[in-house]
Amino acid sequence: MNSNRRIIYEFGRFRLDSVRRLLARDGEAVPLTPKTFDLLLTLVQNRGQILAREELLHRIWPRTVVEESNLTQNIFVLRKALGETPGDHFFIVTVPGRGYRFVAPVRELEEEGARAEWAEAGNGPQQGAVTIAVLPLKSIDRQAGEEYWGPGLAGSLINRLNRLRAIAARPITSVLRYADTSRSPQDAGRELGVSAVLDGTVQRAGESIRVNVELIRVGDGVTLWAGQFDDRLTDIFGTQDAIAEQVARALSVELTGEERGRLRSRDTDDGEAYRLYIKGRFFWEQRTRRGLLRGAGYAERALALDPNYARAYVGVADSYLLLGEYLHLPPAEAFPRAKGAALRALELDDSLAEAHASLAEALFFNEWDWPQAEGEYQRACELNPRYASAHHWYAWFLLAQERFDEALDEISLAQKLDPGSLTLATATGLPFYFRGEYEQAEERYREALEMEPDFTLAHYYLGLALLQLGRYAEAISSLRKVRAVDYQQQVTAQLGRAYACAGRRAEALAVLRELRAMRRRGYVSPYMEAMVYAALGEKEEAAGWLERAHGERAPWMVFLRVEPCFDALRPEPRFRRLVEQLWG
């Protein structure tokens, strides 16, 4: 059989590509996890037949013992992706006591030896672009403290390739999970929903560096191009230029003179400043207090070598933003430093979308300047429509403004740009949560957990939804699964809320004592204690802590208008005054 043989199935408004492993509805990509895709493909290929549950379990999870609930959950997710509601039988019919049957008419198209279709379906920022994933390069003979080179070089190549209109590279947040994995590049590409994958190795020896890379077509595993580069560390920029140009050529992308210039443009000419910057971003991606502080430190060291390095200022800004938003530092310490760094980056390069997004975060979370913050978010999205984080962060702003439909649109767009992101899969539940549609929020969080059962952020938000649904024991169980994460005070406070709502007052009071003990060791936001007091029904205490939070510009005060844990306080004069002070 020809290895390029390609079968496409069409049913209803859907198109299922068996080689690229993509499902599209009216030309728009529909994100599916690998197992859900396998299930759909199996049902479609055996349409009209009843497939027993045992047979499906064997086909979808070969050589693995799994519970039948895994199949049931995947059927639920698949029906949702196909737009079926309870009672619908347009595509999948449950045969009681036996299994499932795909019943929709299917048109089968076959292409022999066809050239791979590179363009991404849809009308979003990636329309017409070749989709590619640059996997973190694997280190050979790794020296102590040099583990950042693989992710760092991948991140730089992603930034370069995304300067081209005809290429859409998945963001670094999507590919980091493949840094230490046994998955093949082809499997990673399928999971990420891309047409091609760039994989390789990096080896450093003293002041020399060797990079081996291979560009693989996901559909059939064919190597489109491979190269080896041996350079001095001071020549690493030339290596990146050469790789990016070779990738574009192998993907049959014709570069304009302007694009060729953008591809070769450099943020700094100082090799050591660049090394410190990518090392800082490596630690920043860990999102822990220690990692963020180290990320800021390395970015500042890069700036000492090159004070005009705009991206290094963004590294400083983003580090302090998360140190403030995750409550690791007091707002007065974190956010002014973040804003100052973002403004300096924009002085150097006003076209840098990341700097506009960073500035927007500081204006939103700390200065409460709604119009200017929104303008900066929109400017970031205009400058780089493929910057998923800008759309994601803008969605949080829209949530705080009670613009839930717009927020869901922005999160959905970010998810199309970064379909492998568990964070974004979880975030799709937030508009429903803040709108009071807790069952729908629960569904979204459980879908994220179906992708990764141990993903702590999904357990955290699932716990909040269950709490609002009055399922207190389940909420406590879910929240306890995330107590080990670095944002401990938030989880501790939410557990205090859950204990209070469940009538376990003594345990809720113990949480308040724990928060006070944490304050003796570092910063604790008054907003956290306000949540616990509100759940205990102590409205005056809750209002007092919220007033303290307002006085120090605690970041999560921006959600005061939509946060359901304060619903009982909304008629109170002190609470109404706080809302008026925030929004006028």
59-96 residue pLDDT tens: 887 766 667 777 888 888 888 888 886 666 678 888 87
**Residues 79, 141 within the same domain:** no
Residues lower than pLDDT 50 in the chain: 1-4, 112-123
Domain boundary among 111, 140, 165: 111
Give how far Cα 364 sits from Cα of 196, 282, 358, 552, Å.
Answer: 37, 26, 10, 15
**Residues 401, 495 within the same domain:** yes
Q: Which of 300, 383, 377, 310 is nearest to 342 (CA)?
A: 310
**Residues 513, 371 within the same domain:** yes
The H or E element that residue 99 is part of is: strand 99-102
| Contact of 500 with 532, CB cutoff 8 Å | yes
* Domain assignment of residue 370, given as a range: 348-583
pLDDT of residue 6: 60
Give the SS3 label for residue 148.
coil
pLDDT digits (tens, 9 = 90+) for 342-363: 999 999 999 999 999 999 999 9
**Residues 94, 174 within the same domain:** no
In a domain, 153, yes or no: yes
In a domain, 457, yes or no: yes
Give the SS3 label for residue 369.
coil
Number of domains the chain contains: 3
In a domain, 430, yes or no: yes
Report which DSSP code applies to 171. Answer: P
In a domain, 271, yes or no: no
Domain boundary among 266, 295, 318: 266
| Contact of 108 with 41, CB cutoff 8 Å | no
Quote the Cα angle for 42-47-49, to 5°.
Answer: 100
**Residues 13, 65 within the same domain:** yes
- What's the CATH number where 360 sits? 1.25.40.10
* Residue 211 burial by Cβ neighbours in a 10 Å radius (0-12, 13-18, 19+): buried
Instruction: Give the alpha-carbon dihedral of 370, 376, 378, 380, to 10 degrees.
Output: -150
**Residues 77, 44 within the same domain:** yes
Provide the H-helix boundaries in 251-369: 257-264, 271-284, 289-305, 310-325, 331-348, 353-362
In a domain, 280, yes or no: no
pLDDT of residue 123: 45
**Residues 76, 149 within the same domain:** no
pLDDT of residue 556: 94
**Residues 356, 247 within the same domain:** no
**Residues 100, 134 within the same domain:** no
**Residues 568, 507 within the same domain:** yes
In a domain, 543, yes or no: yes
| Contact of 174 with 258, CB cutoff 8 Å | no
In a domain, 194, yes or no: yes
- What's the CATH number where 19 sits? 1.10.10.10
Domain boundary among 242, 266, 290: 266
What b/e readout covers 377-411, taking b as 16+ CB neighbours within 10 angstroms?
bebbbebbbbbbbbbbbbbbbbbbbeebebbbebb
What are the structure tokens assigned to 250, written together?
Answer: 């192998």
**Residues 378, 525 within the same domain:** yes
In a domain, 156, yes or no: yes
- What's the CATH number where 222 sits? 3.40.50.10070
**Residues 499, 424 within the same domain:** yes
Amino acid occupying residue 548: R
Rounded Cα–Cα distance for residues 425 and 40 (Å): 20
Q: What is the DSSP string of 308-337?
A: T-HHHHHHHHHHHHHHHHTTSS-HHHHHHH
pLDDT of residue 583: 86
